[in-house]
Amino acid sequence: MNVDNRISEAGSGVRLESGGGDTPGTGTDVRRISLGATLLDGGRCRFLVWAPGAERVEVHLLSPRERTEPLDAQGPGYHHAVLEDVPPGSLYWYRLPGGTERADPASRSQPQGVHGPSEVVGPEFPWTDGDWLGRPLSEYVLYELHVGTFATEGTFEGVIPYLDGLRELGITAVELMPVAQFPGERNWGYDGVYPFAVQRSYGGPCGLKRLVDAAHARGLAVVLDVVYNHLGPEGNYLGEFGPYFTDRYRTPWGQALNFDGPESDEVRRYFVENALQWLDEYHVDALRLDAVHAILDHSAHPFLQELAEAVQLRAKELNRPLLLIAESSLNDPRLIRPPELGGLGLDAQWSDDFHHALHVLLTGERQGYYADFASLGDLELALRDGFVYAGRYSAFRGRRHGSSARDVPAVRFVVSVQNHDQVGNRRLGDRLASSLDLEQRKLAAGALLLSPFVPLLFMGEEYGETAPFLYFVSHTDPALVEAVRRGRNEEFASFGWQEEPPDPQAEETFRRSRMDHGLREGGEHRALYAFHRELLRLRRVVPALRRLDKEQMQVRSFEPEATLRLRRWDQGSEVVFFLHFGATTPSVELPRGHWRKALDSSDPNWGGPGGSLPPRLASDGRAPIALPAWSIVVFEAEESAP
């Protein structure tokens, strides 16, 4: 770099200023350099922070030798400097007017927790994934996990030994619940307050990089859950630096972030840069955007569209797929439509309607939001269109809800039978294994994994994990802990659950949520695991199942028989399968053609009671077959049907 460096004494250290180029100083474009602390060559470090209301901001370095250095004010509220003698591992605060010292809003590491100083992190890491080209979304089979409870170690390193097993199962993408620094050592991750920092108790920045590198070595993509709708309540000092928050809106979790008010350009820049950090510095393949319905933004060019544009540009630069997957309760297809069709251009979104319709059929539960789902026709609609509520009246909401997504490709919907929300937000964190028998769980697996959508499994679902996934925190403020307890109780009111929920603050609540991978080796757990593996094999090798397309599919519900029939086809490959939601053995008709039985969930190979269906059938369109109770039966065409 050819720059004109001017050296000036500043306190007990030396500050390097630049007369131009891309190093901070007079005339520097602060939008072209990274927020936070960035190591440069020669033992130097560049600091950049946005604090528009502060006339003066200083860096208080605690190590390797303590000193305080002023930052230069420049641009729309930015402060920066390049300092000498700042090696990796240096601890620092930003000192604001009045002497208040806070960690860096763009801190990469918080070794002493959310109330402690920031740490300078070096970029060096021995990556081995140079040949990794990523995966298209159509190949994703997602496996959602919580780092703290997935393995005994509760760390990124503890996840790595299980990656080979996930690959052998048929998983192609590992989705991590949020890992941004949160208070304490136990948390779901949605109370993060330092979006750029990696949770120290999980293994910090290097731990996450090792996990991503190991996943890529096994052909697994990595999806990271990020939270851009709020910050947690403890250790949240972001508002002391600038107008990151707004009083114009409220979210269920507190202050809304300022994405459309005065000075919101720099707030957007902060979160867009955060997203690109995960994709660039950590080689993550996709981001799951938490609860985007709580990103309140009425601007003509919304933040989510700006984020999508930035990620798509970076994907072109890196020449690999980089994806954004939204969680939203709005049933608004504009999120996932392209901009030329009036959309925001996100790649996919979770479809809660699929989950709710299937859950009601399996469990019979009708409390809370499940009251809106009653019939087999709801699941038929979810499979055919993506949403059940596409403008129809919702009794739970007391109004019409949603808009049609019939035109949206199937690959843009992520569906699940269980996930962290639908399990963890039950009063006792109970999984389906606690209420459904083996045949019902196999039926659920078949409905999920043979759907035309992108499937997501929640950790342990594949073998019927029995440990609950409870809500847990480790806050230090007693008043906040009590508020969390009270809030959880209020949240369950509409469901009518009577049991007292486990204490979120108790360490035992966290310990009870840890998985027992050994269950997979025996009894019904072994059979369920083998069944999931076979379903994923069929999804991978049968062209009709591999293609994610609502247009090359027919779905029909038979209410008296409590059965759904699906036909899917692609390039001469055709399958028909039946989902039977009941304890009876109804008779249904197999479509015209010659069919080979590809899968029967009642088969003893999968722990079933045994069925009577022959291995091959010829049908003139009226051939009746008897379906076993709570079953999925799959037939593959031996030749194209007339």
- Residues with a known catalytic role: 290, 327
Contacts of 490 (CB under 8 A, 6+ apart): none
Distance of alpha carbon 488 from alpha carbon 490, whole angstroms: 5
Terminal alpha carbon distance of the chain: 70
Write the CA distances from 293 to 120, 250, 459, integer angstroms. Answer: 34, 12, 25
Distance of alpha carbon 156 from alpha carbon 179, whole angstroms: 10
Q: Report CA 344 to chain centroid distance, whole Å.
A: 19
Parallel, antiparallel or unpaired: strands 454-458 and 413-416: parallel
- Bridge partners, residue 251, by sequence: 254
DSSP letter, residue 302: -
Tell me the Cα Rg of the chain.
26
- Bridge partners, residue 173, by sequence: 142, 221
Distance of alpha carbon 335 from alpha carbon 534, whole angstroms: 34
The amino acid sitting at 367 is: Q
Please check whether residue 242 is in contact with residue 262, taking contact to mean a CB–CB distance below 8 angstroms. Answer: no
Task: Using the Cα atoms of residue 300, residue 306, residue 308 and residue 312 in order, give the sign of their dihedral.
Answer: positive
Distance of alpha carbon 350 from alpha carbon 354, whole angstroms: 9
- Bridge partners, residue 394, by sequence: 399
Token pair 């499994």 is found at 457
Q: Could you count the other beta carbons within 10 Å of the beta carbon of residue 50?
A: 24
SS3 content of the chain, % helix, strand, coil (to 5): 30, 25, 45
Please check whether residue 496 is in contact with residue 367, taking contact to mean a CB–CB distance below 8 angstroms. Answer: yes
φ, ψ dihedrals at 324, nearest 5°: -120, 125
DSSP letter, residue 96: P
The amino acid sitting at 119 is: E
Contacts of 276 (CB under 8 A, 6+ apart): 310, 311, 314
Please check whether residue 59 is in contact with residue 80, taking contact to mean a CB–CB distance below 8 angstroms. Answer: no
Distance of alpha carbon 616 from alpha carbon 116, whole angstroms: 68
Write the CA distances from 178 to 106, 308, 550, integer angstroms. Answer: 16, 20, 31
Distance of alpha carbon 615 from alpha carbon 79, whole angstroms: 73
Here the tokens at position 251 are 């979210």
Tell me the three-class secondary structure of 206-230, residue by residue: HHHHHHHHHHHHCCCEEEEEECCCC
Please check whether residue 581 is in contact with residue 607, taking contact to mean a CB–CB distance below 8 angstroms. Answer: no
Please check whether residue 163 is in contact with residue 218, taking contact to mean a CB–CB distance below 8 angstroms. Answer: yes
Distance of alpha carbon 463 from alpha carbon 531, whole angstroms: 9
Please check whether residue 23 is in contact with residue 46, taking contact to mean a CB–CB distance below 8 angstroms. Answer: yes
